[in-house]
Structure 1
Amino acid sequence: MTTSPATEPAAPPPRARLEHRVPVRVRHYWKLLATCVAVVVALVVVAGKVRIAPIVTSQAAGKHDEVVENIDGTVDLFDATVAHTVTITYTEADYQRMFDEYMETGEKEYVRVDATVDGTLIRDVGVRLKGNSTLSGVTHEGRTRSLFEDRGGQGGPGGRPGMPEGGFPGMPEGGFPQMPGGGEGGNQGGGRGGPGGMMGGGFGRASLDSAKPEELPWLISFDEFAEGRRYQGRSEVAVRVSGMGGGTTVVNEALSLAVAAAAQQPTQRYAYTALQVNGRPVKARLLVEHPDEDFADSLGNGVLYKSLATGQFTYQGADPTEYEDDFKQVNNKGSHDLAPVIDLVKWANEASDADFDAQLADHVDVASFARYLALQNLLLNFDDMSGPGKNYYLWYDLDTKKFKVISWDHNLTFSGSATAGPHDTMSMGGGMGGFPGGGGDFQLPEGMELPEGFTPPGGGRGGMMGGNKLKERFLASGAFKKAYEDAYRELYQKIYADKAAEKALDQIAATLNTVRGADAAAVKTDVDKLRATVRQRAEALAKDTVIKG
C-alpha cells in the first residue's frame, strides 16, 4: 500500500501575516485606539492656531521666592522722623562696565555692592539705575543718552519712529529750551535734542552725570545676588531724584506720599537718608518703598501690574507678548498672567458710552478709582496714569475680580497751577498746553519741522505722550461725576482744610535738616516754595463750587 507524502500547511495570506504580528490586546481594542487618534488629529487641525491659556488656581505656585534671611537692622528704614544713613561701595571697573552697557543698549544691569544701612553691613547687594525719562539726559564720559535712542534712530518699539540723526529740521542747537522748574543754566539736558525737560534732562530736572553716583536714581535690591534675602521684609528700595515741584530735596514727593497715607490711600513709605557712594561727598536723598512682590503681598490677595513708560492703554489683541512694552507683572507669575489687564484695556477702549457707565463697576472699584483721580488733581500731578511717564500700577483683586489704581512716582507733583479746579486738566509747568499732560496737541517750536510720517511717541490725547482711556472716559461721564466730586471734597478736607499737608511739610523739613549732606539753604527754599503752593491751592479750592458742595 502506497501512502501519499505529508501535505505542507498552506501559507496564510499576506493580510493574515500582518494581523498576527500585532499584539492581541491591540487587535482587541483597535476601534478605541483609532477613535483616540482621530480625535487628536481633529484637535490639531481645528485648534492648531488657537492660543491655549492655562488656568492655574494654586496660589502657592504664584508666590515669590521663599524668604531665607530677613535682616532686622537697627531702626525702621521707613521711619520718616529719623535721619538715616546708607553707604555703598563697589569696584570702579564694575560701575564703568554697567554704565557702558546702559549707554550702548539702554539695559540697566546690576552692580554688586556692599551696603551699610543705618550701621548694618550687607554684602553682595544689587544696585542698578532706575527710571526712564529720568535718565533721558544722563551723561557718561561726555556722552549724553537721548530719550529717543532706545527707539532705534529711525524706528523704535512697535514701529514708533525715533529721533533722526542730527535732530529734526529747525531744532535749536543743543535741544529745546529748558522747561519751567528745571535746574539752573537753562537747557541742562544737553546732547541731541535734549531739553532739560522733554527729550534730554528728564522733564525739568537738572542733568545727571555718571561721575556723580551720589546724585543718580538707583534701585537697591537685597536679593539680586542673594536669593530669598530681605531687609526688614523688603527686597527692593528706590533712591529718588528731584522733579519740578520739589527742587533738589524732592520735598514734593515726600509730601505727596505723606498726604496719600494720611488720606488712607494705597501708597509707598518713604524716608530721608545720607547717601555716600565710594567715598564721594555725602548727599541727602529720598528713599521710597519700591512696589515689588513684598509690596504686592501687603495689598492683599491679588496680582500687581506695573504700567511701563513705553506703554499705551490700547488693545493689541489677546496675545500677552504684544503688551511687553505696556505692562509688567510684578507678582504671582506662573499662576496668573496679563489676561485680566488685556480684558480691561479691550473693554475700556471698545465699550459704548452706555456700557461703560453700566459695566464699569464690574471691572473697577469705582469708589477707589474716584479717590485716586481726585488725589492726583489735588496734588497737581500731571504725570499720573495719563501723563508721559504712565506712572501707576494696577492691582487686580482676586476675590472681587476688580481693579484698583495704585499711584507711583510723585516727583512731579505740585508743579502745575495752584488754582486748577477739580475738573481742570493737569498740565506741566502751570498750564503749558501742548506739552506732556497739557491737554492739547504737541506744539513744535517755531521753525521746527518733523519728518514726514513721524508721530510723537505715545501720541494721542493729553499732549505728546499723555492720555489714558479709562481715566478720560470716567471723568467725561456724568454717571460718575458725583462719586468723583464726593471723593474730592472728602480728600480736600483732610489734606488742605484740616492742614494735613502743612503739618506733614513741617515734619519733613524738621527731619531733612538733620540729615547729613542736606543743603540747609536749599531745604528752606524748597520748603518755603512748596508751602506757598499748598496754601495757594487750599485757598483757591475753598472757593470752588465742588468744595462748597
Structure 2
Amino acid sequence: MRVRHYWKLLATCALFLGVCAVVFSTVRVAPLVTSTSDSAEDPVTQDIAGTVDLFDASVAHRVSLTFRDSDYQRLLDEFWDEGEKDFLEADITIDGTRIASVGIRLKGNSTLAGLTRDGKSRPNGFGAGRPDAGGAQQRQPNAPGGGFPGGAQGGAPPGGAQGGGPGGAQGGGFGRASLKAEEPETLPWLIRFDEFVDGRRYQGHREIAVRVAGMGGGSTVLNEAVSLHTLAAAGQTAQRYAYTGFTVNDRPTTARLLVEHPDEGFADTLGGHGVLYKSLASGSFTDKGDDPTAYAADFKQITMKGSQDLQPVINLIRWVSTSSDAEFDAHLAEHIDVESFARYTAIQNLLLNFDDMAGPGRNYYLWYDLTTKKFSVVGWDYNLTFSGNATQGPNEQGRMGGGRFPQNGGAPQDFQPPQDFPLPEGMQPPEGMQPPGGNAPGGQGGRGIGGLGGHKLKERFLASTAFKSVYENAYRDLYRKIYANGAAANALDSISTVLSTVDGYDAQKGATDVEQLRTLIRQRTEHLATDSVITGG
C-alpha cells in the first residue's frame, strides 16, 4: 500500500486529531453514572451465623485477634511515614467462632493523634513535640481516664459559666486517649470481614468498629454506649453496640466497646431505597463546583457505587450555600426531611455532643432517599457525648473546653480566640492548622479537624425563626424520652451491670466513670426541666 494513494485520508485524520487536541485538551472529563438503578452492589456469598448475636448488649462477649508482628510493624510504618491506614490480615474469634483472614486497620483521626511508638509521637500529628510523649497524659484531679483539662479545671468559658461534666469535674475538652503502638489491645480498630475474602459477612455485617477508651468517656466509653442505648429507646436511628473482652495475640485482655459500623448492612436498616454518604473529617460542607473529584476529601459514597453518584450531595451543598434566607425557609423541606433534621439537632444538644456534624470531626452521614429525593442526617461517633456543660441550654452550642456558643453559629461578644478555645496542655496543633480566630466554633466557614468545625446547614436551620417551633417541639419530646422518664439513668444502670461481667473490666476505673456520668445525667435532667423550651410545651 502506497502512502501517496491515501494521503488525503491520512491528512484528514491528522487534522482531526490536531483539532481534538486543541479544542478538548482543556475540557474536564467528569465520570457520569447513566444507570438509575437503586440496587446494592457487592453480593454476599457467605454470611457467618456465629453463636451469639454480636450486638446483644445484654451479655458480655469475647473477641480475640491474632496477626503477624511483621505485618503490624508494616502497618505502623505506613501510618507513621505516610499517614495511611492500610489493612493487615488477621484471624478473629468472636464468641467462639473463628474466622480466618479478616482485614483490620487503625481507625480515627483525632483519636490517633495521641498515638506513640517507642515513646515518640508521629511526625506532624497532634502529639508531635509534646512532653512525656511516651507516657500517660497528665489528667486533672477527678477527671475520667483519658480526659483533658477543660471544664472547671480549664477555666470558665465565655459568660462565666462553669464548664466540665459531672459536678464540674469531668474535662470537657477535646480529650484523646494516650495510646501506645506497643499496646494494640487498646487501639481503635476497624474490622472488615470481606477485605481478603470477597462477599463475606458476619451476621450481615461487613465491618465493625472497636471503640477506643478515653476521649470523653473515661476508661469504659460508657457515654457512647448510654447515648446509643437511649437513642434507640427513643425511636431514633442509632448504631448497635455491645461490650466485649478483647485480646490481641498474647497481650492482656481489655474490656472494649464494639459498635456497628455504618456500612451497606446498616443502610438497609434506614428504610426505603437510598444512598448513604459519609462525611470525612478532612472535609467541609463547601461548594467546590461541578467536578465530583473536588469533593474527594469531603464525602465518601458508601452504597450503590456505580449506580448512583455524588451529584445529590453537590446539589444540596450548592443550594444551602447560595439560597437566600427567604428561599431557605420556603424550600428547605424540598431538600431535607425537616422533622428528622430537627430531631437530629435536638439530640446533639441534649446529649452534649459538640463533635457532631458541625464539630471538628465532622461525625455524620447523609442518607439520600431515592423515592422522596430528600436527605436525612444520620449521627455517628458519640464518644464525646456527655462531656460538656450540664447547664447548656436548648439554643446553645457546646464547644471544646466545655463552654457554650449560640446555636446559630455566632460567638459571644467576649469570645477571644484562642484563649477561649484552648487545646489541651502539651498538645500541639498539626502543621498548617490555624487557631479559630474569626472562624469560631460554629462559624460557617469551618472545616473538619484543622478548621475546628462549623456547618452551614445546621447553622442556618437553627438561626431561622421558620423552624424554631419544629426544633423546640422535637427537643421537648426527646427530653421527655431521654431524661424525664429516666431512660438515660436506667440505661447507665443496665449497661454498667453488664460491663462488670466483661473480661478485662477495670472495676475501680469503671465505678468512677459510672458515678461521674450518673451525676451529669442527674444535673442535665434537673436543669432542663426548668428551661422555658421544656416548660412551655
Which runs of no fewer than 5 residues in structure 2 stay unpaired? Answer: 10-14, 150-172, 443-450
Q: Flag the 1:358–1:542 CA change in 2: closer, same or farther, 3 A.
A: same
Larger Rg: 1
Matched-pair contact (CA < 8 Å) for 1:243–1:412: no
Which runs of no fewer than 5 residues in structure 1 stay unpaired? Answer: 1-17, 23-36, 151-162, 188-201
Question: In structure 2, how many angstroms separate the alpha carbons of the residues matched to 1:342 and 1:548?
Answer: 40
Question: In structure 1, how many angstroms separate the alpha carbons of the residues matched to 2:184 and 2:398?
Answer: 33
Q: Report the CA distance between 1:508 and its aligned residue.
A: 0.3
Instruction: Select 1:492's aligned residue among 468, 479, 485.
Output: 479
Aligned to 1:361: 333
Aligned to 1:222: 193
Instruction: Select 1:475's aligned residue among 440, 457, 462.
Output: 462
Is the aligned partner of 1:86 residue 2:57?
A: no
AA partner of residue 493 (structure 1)? R
AA partner of residue 455 (structure 1)? Q
Structure 1 residues 395-441: Cα deviation after superposition (integer angstroms, max 9, x where no partner)? 1111111000000000000000111110011122421779xx99556
Question: In structure 2, how many angstroms separate the alpha carbons of the residues matched to 1:47 and 1:367?
Answer: 47
Output aligned runs, 1:254-333, within 5 Å: 254-299=225-270, 300-333=272-305
Structure with the bigger RCO (C-alpha within 8 Å, sep 6+) is 2
Q: Flag the 1:274–1:185 CA change in 2: closer, same or farther, 3 A.
A: closer
Output aligned runs, 1:378-397, within 5 Å: 378-397=350-369
Aligned to 2:313: 341
Aligned to 1:7: none
Matched-pair contact (CA < 8 Å) for 2:30–2:291: no
Aligned to 2:166: none
Q: Report the CA distance between 1:454 and its aligned residue.
A: 7.0
Q: Provide the TM-score with structure 2 as the length reference.
A: 0.82
Q: Flag the 1:166–1:77 CA change in 2: closer, same or farther, 3 A.
A: closer
Aligned to 1:142: 119
Instruction: Select 1:414's aligned residue among 364, 379, 386.
Output: 386
Question: In structure 2, how many angstroms separate the alpha carbons of the residues matched to 1:229 and 1:50?
Answer: 38
AA partner of residue 471 (structure 1)? K
Is the aligned partner of 1:455 residue 2:434?
A: yes
Output aligned runs, 1:117-156, within 5 Å: 117-145=94-122, 148-149=124-125
Matched-pair contact (CA < 8 Å) for 2:492–2:514: yes
Q: Report the CA distance between 1:56 and its aligned residue.
A: 3.0
Question: In structure 1, how many angstroms separate the alpha carbons of the residues matched to 2:390 and 2:299?
Answer: 32
Is the aligned partner of 1:208 residue 2:179?
A: yes
Q: Report the CA distance between 1:310 and its aligned residue.
A: 0.8
Matched-pair contact (CA < 8 Å) for 2:418–2:435: no
Question: In structure 2, how many angstroms separate the alpha carbons of the residues matched to 1:185 and 1:309?
Answer: 21
Aligned to 2:418: 443
Q: Report the CA distance between 1:52 and its aligned residue.
A: 5.3
SS of the residue 1:248 aligns to: coil
Aligned to 1:54: 32
Question: In structure 1, how many angstroms separate the alpha carbons of the residues matched to 2:523 and 2:213?
Answer: 22
Aligned to 2:513: 526
Aligned to 2:447: none
Structure 1 residues 233-254: Cα deviation after superposition (integer angstroms, max 9, x where no partner)? 0010000013443211000000
**What count of residue pairs does the alignment treat as equivalent?**
483
Question: In structure 1, how many angstroms separate the alpha carbons of the residues matched to 2:147 and 2:471?
Answer: 41
Question: In structure 1, how many angstroms separate the alpha carbons of the residues matched to 2:489 and 2:433?
Answer: 45
Structure 1 residues 468-511: Cα deviation after superposition (integer angstroms, max 9, x where no partner)? 00000000000000000000000001111111111111110110
Aligned to 2:152: none
Instruction: Select 2:221's aligned residue among 229, 250, 253.
Output: 250
Matched-pair contact (CA < 8 Å) for 1:220–1:237: yes
Aligned-residue Cα RMSD (Å) equals 3.6
Question: In structure 2, how many angstroms separate the alpha carbons of the residues matched to 1:488 and 1:184?
Answer: 30
AA partner of residue 386 (structure 2)? F
Question: In structure 1, how many angstroms separate the alpha carbons of the residues matched to 2:144 and 2:519?
Answer: 19
Q: Report the CA distance between 1:105 and its aligned residue.
A: 0.6
